[in-house]
Amino acid sequence: MKTTPEVNAARLLKSVADFAAIGATPAGGVNRQALSVEDRAARRLLVERALARGFTVFQDEVANLFIRREGRDAALAPLLIGSHLDSQPTGGRFDGALGTLTAFEALEALADAGIETDRAIEVVAFTNEEGSRFSPGCMGSMAFAGVANVTDWHSVAATDGARFSDELAATLNDLPEAEISPIGHTISAFVELHIEQGPILEREGVPIGIVTAVQGTKWLEVAFSGEAAHAGTTPLEFRKDPMAAAAAAIVRIQGDIMPSDPDARLTVGRIAAEPGSINVIPGRVSFTVDIRHPDATILAAIERRVRDECQAAGERLGCKTVIEQRVDMPPGRFSPHVAQAIEDGCAAQGIACRPMISGAFHDALFVNRIAPSAMIFVPCRNGVSHNEAEFVTDDHIMIGARALLGAVVKLSCE
């Protein structure tokens, strides 16, 4: 390499601001849901900037968008970097966009410095990571990794009633400059920069997390069925109250599992009572349990514990207990080699970093199935994400971009 590539701070920060304007909400966040007109506008802006820099662009059949800068040796598989551009309906400016735009900045920095890498580098914006408009999330990376087929989702309806296949076709057609390539081409490795979506880096004052693993996740839906009855006329001994069972079960599972294991996460995010009248003892109460742990064995043990506590609470209160599993995603381990490249890049630039476990899903989790992958986390204020208040300081944006560029230089020339 001739010179050291440098992140252009003004350009990168302007780029973050420009994309934040697409789908901007009054409260400072972004509503740029997958395959919406806002999502298409963001894709268009990225393509225009790519073509202006002489990079090539292409899409695949799930509308994953690629920006490619050629390397010296066309026989080498490209290095993939990037993230996603779609957001939650009341999402932030950084979740996804920051990873895509710092990746594009890395391409520009290399071009600015006139550096020819050994292998080509491709920036990707994966389709529908968030899963809020169309379920499930991570469609783009799942299809790219061969975990699922785009045809599986053709009939999926959006929260706004649109059909996935229609919105996908419209999005693809909206970028005639980007020809459509077969899905799932070979890559050498994948690096995704993302906001942490948690409080640890900020609290510890460390600007970079190197994500070595992703927690396994299990989603359960617990339902207690008792007997709906009149609140005023039904004495205690006649009650089969699923609300009592639910409250007891939640207290038991929350009281013990997280306090005794700092890596465990257990969340009851949704609860409903039927018929849901103020003056009727519910006939049915259901709630969700989100369990996460980086160790598959411990994760399975926590699930058993949750099931046992719920069964016991149901029996104590005279209710029938039904527990269904909605998601079972095993823990993922990222590539130590890619993680090392990120760490080396940080070390060379004097950037402090620490290894981390991701508690959230990311596209990298799926890409990791077909190519060595790892992630770079940057701090976000108060750990807040999926929220218009999501915020990353300019300093942390810059440090993140430099960490990514450092890893890119290493991984594209090996």
Which residues are documented as binding site?
84, 95, 130, 194, 386
Of the pair 53, 265, the CB lying nearest its own copies is at 265
Of the pair 248, 351, the CB lying nearest its own copies is at 248
Of residues 259-288, those binding its own copies (CB under 8 A)? 259, 262, 265, 267-273, 276-282, 285, 288
Q: How far is the CB of 338 from its own copies (least distance, A)?
A: 21
Of residues 378-397, those binding its own copies (CB under 8 A)? 383-387
Q: Is position 27 an interface residue for its own copies (rule: CB under 8 A)?
A: no
Q: Is position 337 an interface residue for its own copies (rule: CB under 8 A)?
A: no
Alpha helices for 113-188 (secondary structure H): 139-144, 164-173
Token output for 309 = 């506590």
Give the residue ranges of the annotated binding site for Zn(2+). 84, 95, 130, 194, 386
For residues 40 and 172, what is the distance between their CA atoms, to the nearest angstrom? 9
**Paired strand residues for 24:** 30
* Count of C-beta atoms within a 10 Å radius of residue 277: 12
Burial of 44-78, coded b for 16+ CB within 10 Å and e otherwise, reads: bbbbebbeeeebbbbbbbbbbbbbbbebeeeebeb
Question: How far is the CA of 30 from the CAs of 19, 25, 45, 394, 395, in angstroms?
Answer: 9, 5, 16, 18, 21
Contact region with its own copies (CB under 8 A), list: 117-125, 160-168, 245-253, 392-400: 245-253
Q: Is position 192 an interface residue for its own copies (rule: CB under 8 A)?
A: no
Q: How far is the CB of 268 from its own copies (least distance, A)?
A: 5
Q: How far is the CB of 151 from its own copies (least distance, A)?
A: 26
Burial class from Cβ neighbours inside 10 Å (0-12, 13-18, 19+) for residue 296 reads: exposed
Token output for 32 = 């740029």
Helix 394-412 × helix 336-349 angle, to 10°: 120
Contact (CB, 8 A) for 121 and 107: yes
Q: Is position 320 an interface residue for its own copies (rule: CB under 8 A)?
A: no
Of the pair 78, 242, the CB lying nearest its own copies is at 242
User: Binding its own copies by CB under 8 A: which of 173, 236, 304, 350?
Assistant: 236
Contact region with its own copies (CB under 8 A), list: 100-108, 138-146, 180-188, 377-385: 377-385
Q: Is position 235 an interface residue for its own copies (rule: CB under 8 A)?
A: yes
**Paired strand residues for 267:** 290
Of the pair 104, 377, the CB lying nearest its own copies is at 377
User: Binding its own copies by CB under 8 A: which of 9, 77, 135, 199?
Assistant: 199
**DSSP class per residue in 231-247:** TTT--GGG---HHHHHH
* Count of C-beta atoms within a 10 Å radius of residue 369: 14
User: Binding its own copies by CB under 8 A: which of 112, 116, 290, 328?
Assistant: 290
Which residue in this structure is represented by tokens 């999330």? 137
Of residues 51-70, those binding its own copies (CB under 8 A)? none
* Contacting positions for its own copies (CB under 8 A): 196-200, 215, 217, 219, 228-236, 238, 241, 243-244, 246-248, 250-251, 254, 258-259, 262, 265, 267-273, 276-282, 285, 288, 290, 292, 326, 358-361, 383-387
